[in-house]
């Protein structure tokens, strides 16, 4: 139980310091709550609109926001993910801000901890404080933290793009195949095409074509085999160059079956105008490689090292595009007939995921509102709050250790060692990193380094995979594959039984990144707290408190000024977005050459080497920036109190001045002269002009009563 003196001091402190509502950190939490509510309304409104709009087909909890052009669907997906990551960053920053306010201790909680020779954190995010604050605030802190995990794990996959790609048949014919009166033996090729139509297809509701359409597609292709309908608008005549470029992509969405017209005529040896036929399967690696390895495509041989740009390069240079048939004969491509199909790429959203996101969003909003409404006892949120409190009501447990640092508190004060005058041994100012505890530095550096190493390993594996399939690492080819684009090579070699597991794996880095942001933010918070503390030894300053009195200034930020907070938020949002483009859900619905959906869609996790490179570069830059900031020197010589409540309290035992007069003026910490009753000098806060910096080798003590 608290002593009577502690209770009396706490009551006087509470009566003397009545918080001004909706100022200071209350305003900050209200702003966080307002932004969270806005995000909640956005999520609820868009979900209701997408789920109830008749234009957006809903099937098994998956809605279709857009269906059509693949380029348009990619653009829509890109902007939606940018918006999602912006909202996600807003929620993360607001959660961090509110959690720091909830974990901030009251003066009575600090007095109770000091009485047990324990200390609490002031001015920084803290897990230590959770064990010593009121249960209500602890529960709200936990609720905000727990809801961040599913939110950041799922939010980016609430919306995803799904490609519609076509398998297709490539039929090589002679140059007079489509001329009337030419002999064609199309029967065996029609049988082969019919087998393609019959195998590996599972028509499903909402995707399958009707039997009439399927039959018409097959009949149209058969008529082309027989040369009966060469001028149909469904087939387009292409030059060899246009043909090579149209089928240069790994996933073809706007075209299907292709007729290669060879620059040769039938003869007595080959009196049939149909020379060859192969099927290109989109779910295999490098499906576009048929252009430079045509005869090996269906033989199962290694054709991975071919140069797929060779046909286009040769044709641009006025050279011929030659393909080798399965028979070993080589022919020159003189032209093409390409089947035109409509693109059906989609932008989809998951109703179940959005409901989970909305639930987490709602819990956060309620906790933030309750934080403002229920926080009636003033808390020491900022460094100025702590200095104001300890100057007004000095803590008797810290008398006699006027320049104690965190290390001294751990070694001596907690063991209740007798306080004695000590020499000032600090020579010169310290650097910013000294205000960060070793544990906090190790956690941040360790997890950031592990994440960067893992990203580097993933990039290495991706490049090795590129070398295996493409024969070399080509930066231009890597850039052409872009950010977050699905291709047949850059896929994680895992087959998932359902799309949910793929979503969880694709978004696991988002949760890890959120944790890294919190640790990185905490690192800067500690360094900036040390910087603000050092300014008190450099010159007289006004106390920055959450509930100001005359002579003090209010604050809308906690420990990180907006000049640091906004770049940190921007960094977080950019990293989240780049990470969503580095590892992403890869979904492609594959249709057979006659427009029916196959039974083997691509549903896995894809990656982008270019995006991973950007993530690595930005991550390394962030670590170097933190190291550079940590190497900066403080403004003046002062004790390194970090966020330790005991060390801050020890520095706030005024000597002779009335505390009420000190806290209403600009104050400075330093050497205030010799204590009359002890004959030694004292370090503390003072509003007078005679405060000097500590002298190396000089002996300093505490206030009157030291050693009692």
Question: Taking 60 as the threshold, does the pLDDT of residue 98 lie above it?
Answer: yes
What confidence score (pLDDT) does residue 479 get? 76
Question: Which residues, listed in sequence order, are joined to residue 64 by a DSSP beta bridge?
Answer: 348
605-627 burial, b at 16+ Cβ within 10 Å, e below that, comes to bbbbbbbbbbbbeebeebeeebe
What confidence category does residue 307 fall into, taking pLDDT thresholds of 50, 70 and 90? low
Reply yes or no on whether the pLDDT at 620 is more than 90. Answer: yes
Q: Give residue-wise pLDDT tens across range 25-78.
A: 788 888 899 999 999 999 999 888 888 877 767 777 788 888 888 888 888 888
The string of DSSP letters for 572-593 reads HHHHHHHHHHHEEEEEEEEE-T
**Contact present, 685 and 652 (Cβ < 8 Å):** yes
Two tokens at 223? 């008529």
pTM: 0.77
| 23 pLDDT above the threshold of 80 | no
Mean pLDDT of 273-296: 71
pLDDT of residue 364: 93
Structure tokens of 636? 């003046």
Measured distance CA(615)–CA(625) in Å, rounded: 15
Copy the structure tokens of residue 165: 């790609």
pLDDT above 80: residue 230: no
Q: Write out pLDDT tens, residues 75-97.
A: 888 888 888 888 888 898 889 88
Taking the C-alpha atoms of residue 46 and residue 52, their distance in angstroms, rounded to an integer, is 10
pLDDT, one tens digit per residue, over 555-579 is 767 778 888 888 988 898 899 889 8
Q: Has residue 443 got a pLDDT over 80?
A: yes
- Put residue 60 in one of left, alpha, beta given phi > 0 → left and psi -120 to 50 → alpha: left
The answer, yes or no, to whether residue 149 has pLDDT greater than 70, is: yes
Residue 197 scores a pLDDT above 60: yes
Burial class (CB in 10 A: 0-12, 13-18, 19+), 528: buried
Six-digit token pair at 661? 């007069």
Alpha-carbon distance 369 to 376, whole Å? 13
What mean pLDDT is predicted for residues 201-224? 60
Token couple for 555: 């604050």
Cα distances (Å, whole numbers) of residue 648 to 103, 105, 236, 394, 524: 17, 14, 80, 11, 19
**634-691 pLDDT, tens digit each:** 888 888 888 888 889 888 887 766 677 777 788 888 888 776 666 678 888 888 777 8
Could you give the residue ranges of the DSSP H alpha helices within 24-69? 25-52
C-alpha of 183 from chain center: 62
Say how far apart CA 415 and CA 320 lie, in whole Å.
Answer: 88
Between 499-538 and 609-630, two packed helices, what is the crossing angle to 10 degrees?
20
* Cα separation, 416 vs 443, whole angstroms: 30
pLDDT of residue 616: 93
Q: How far is CA 476 from CA 309, 387, 479, 580, in A?
A: 12, 58, 5, 22
Long-range contacts of 229-238 (CB under 8 A, 24+ apart): 230/178, 230/337, 234/339, 234/340, 235/259, 235/337, 235/338, 235/339, 235/340, 236/337, 236/338, 236/339, 236/340, 237/335, 237/336, 237/337, 238/335, 238/336, 238/337, 238/338
In this prediction, residues 399-415 reach a mean pLDDT of 77
CA dihedral 464→466→469→471, nearest 10 degrees, is -90
The total number of residues shown for the chain amounts to: 708
Q: What is the pLDDT of residue 150?
A: 82
Q: How far apart are CA 208 and CA 87, in angstroms?
A: 37
Give the gyration radius of the chain's Cα atoms: 35
Tokens in use for 677? Answer: 């009753």
Mean pLDDT of the chain: 79
Residues 6+ apart with CB under 8 A from 4: none
pLDDT above 90 for 140:
yes
Return the number of other C-beta atoms located less than 10 Å from residue 704's C-beta. Answer: 15
Question: Which pLDDT band holds residue 5 (cuts at 50, 70, 90)?
Answer: very low
Query: 622 pLDDT band (50/70/90 cuts)?
Result: very high
Query: Which of the 8 DSSP states describes residue 24?
Result: T
- At 470, the pLDDT band (50, 70, 90 cuts) reads low
The alpha carbon of 521 is separated from its chain's Cα centroid by a whole number of angstroms, namely 14
Domain ranges of the chain: 163-346
Nearest to 486 by CA among 254, 161, 153: 161
Specify whether the CB–CB gap between 58 and 351 falls below 8 A: yes
Classify 230 as helix, strand or coil. Answer: coil
> Over the stretch 323-377, which tens digit does the pLDDT of each residue have?
877 777 788 888 898 988 888 888 888 888 889 999 999 999 999 999 888 877 8
Give the containing element (helix H, strand E) for 688: none
Torsion, Cα 50 53 54 60, to 10 degrees, reads: 30
Give percent above pLDDT 70 in the chain: 82
How far apart are the C-alpha atoms of 56 and 266, rounded to whole Å? 52
User: Quick one: pLDDT at residue 1?
Assistant: 41
């Amino acid at each position: 139980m608290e002593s009577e003196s502690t209770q009396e001091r706490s009551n006087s402190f509470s009566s003397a310091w009545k918080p001004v509502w909706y100022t200071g950190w209350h305003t900050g939490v209200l702003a966080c709550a307002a932004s969270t509510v806005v995000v909640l309304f956005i999520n609820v409104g868009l979900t209701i609109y997408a789920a109830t709009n008749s234009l957006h087909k809903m099937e098994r909890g998956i809605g279709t926001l857009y269906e059509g052009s693949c380029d348009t669907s990619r653009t829509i997906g890109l902007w939606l993910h940018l918006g999602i990551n912006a909202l996600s960053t807003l929620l993360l920053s607001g959660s961090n801000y509110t959690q720091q306010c909830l974990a901030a201790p009251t003066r009575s909680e600090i007095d109770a901890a000091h009485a047990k020779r324990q200390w609490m954190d002031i001015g920084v995010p803290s897990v230590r404080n959770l064990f010593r604050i009121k249960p209500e605030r602890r529960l709200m802190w936990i609720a905000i933290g727990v809801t961040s995990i599913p939110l950041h794990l799922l939010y980016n996959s609430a919306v995803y793009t799904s490609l519609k790609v076509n398998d297709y048949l490539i039929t090589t014919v002679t140059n007079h195949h489509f001329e009337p009166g030419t002999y064609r033996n199309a029967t065996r090729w029609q049988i082969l095409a019919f087998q393609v139509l019959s195998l590996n297809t599972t028509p499903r509701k909402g995707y399958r074509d009707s039997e009439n359409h399927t039959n018409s597609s097959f009949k149209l292709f058969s008529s082309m085999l027989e040369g009966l309908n060469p001028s149909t608008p469904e087939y387009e005549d292409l030059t060899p160059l246009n043909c090579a470029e149209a089928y240069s992509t790994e996933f073809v969405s706007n075209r299907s079956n292709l007729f290669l017209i060879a620059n040769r005529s039938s003869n007595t040896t080959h009196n049939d105008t149909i020379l060859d036929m192969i099927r290109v399967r989109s779910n295999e690696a490098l499906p576009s490689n048929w252009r430079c390895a045509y005869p090996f495509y269906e033989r199962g041989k290694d054709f991975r090292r071919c140069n797929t740009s060779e046909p286009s390069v040769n044709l641009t240079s006025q050279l011929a595009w030659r393909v080798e048939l399965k028979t070993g004969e080589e022919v020159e491509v003189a032209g093409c007939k390409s089947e035109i199909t409509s693109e059906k790429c989609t932008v989809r959203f998951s109703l179940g995921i959005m409901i989970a996101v909305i639930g987490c969003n709602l819990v956060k909003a309620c906790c933030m509102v309750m934080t403002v409404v229920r926080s009636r006892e003033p808390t020491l949120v900022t460094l100025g709050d702590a200095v104001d409190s300890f100057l007004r009501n000095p803590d008797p447990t810290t008398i006699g250790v006027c320049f104690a640092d965190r290390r001294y508190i751990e070694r001596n004060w907690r063991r209740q060692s007798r306080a004695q005058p000590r020499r000032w041994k600090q020579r010169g100012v310290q650097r910013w990193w000294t205000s960060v505890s070793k544990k906090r530095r190790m956690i941040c550096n360790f997890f950031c380094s592990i994440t960067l190493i893992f990203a580097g390993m993933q990039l290495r594996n991706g490049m090795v995979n590129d070398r295996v399939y493409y024969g070399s690492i080509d930066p231009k080819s890597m850039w052409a594959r872009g950010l977050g684009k699905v291709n047949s090579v850059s896929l994680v070699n895992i087959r998932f039984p359902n799309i949910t597991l793929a979503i969880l794996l694709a978004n696991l880095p988002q949760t890890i990144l959120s944790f890294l942001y919190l640790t990185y933010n905490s690192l800067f918070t500690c360094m900036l707290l040390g910087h603000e503390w050092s300014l008190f030894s450099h010159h007289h300053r006004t106390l920055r408190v959450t509930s100001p009195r005359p002579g003090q200034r209010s604050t809308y930020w906690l420990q990180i000024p907006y000049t640091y907070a906004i770049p940190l938020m921007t960094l977080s949002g950019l990293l989240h977005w780049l990470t969503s483009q580095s590892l992403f859900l890869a979904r492609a619905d594959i249709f057979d050459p006659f427009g029916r959906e196959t039974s083997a869609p691509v549903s896995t996790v894809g990656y982008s080497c270019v995006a991973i490179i950007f993530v690595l570069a930005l991550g390394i830059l962030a670590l170097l920036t933190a190291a550079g900031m940590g190497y900066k020197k403080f403004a003046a010589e002062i004790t390194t109190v970090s966020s330790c409540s005991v060390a801050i309290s020890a520095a706030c035992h005024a000597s002779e001045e009335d505390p009420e007069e000190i806290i209403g003026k600009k104050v400075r910490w330093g050497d205030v002269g010799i204590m009359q009753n002890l004959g030694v000098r004292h370090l503390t806060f003072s509003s007078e002009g005679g405060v000097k910096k500590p002298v190396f080798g000089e002996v300093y003590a505490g206030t009157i009563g030291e050693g009692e």
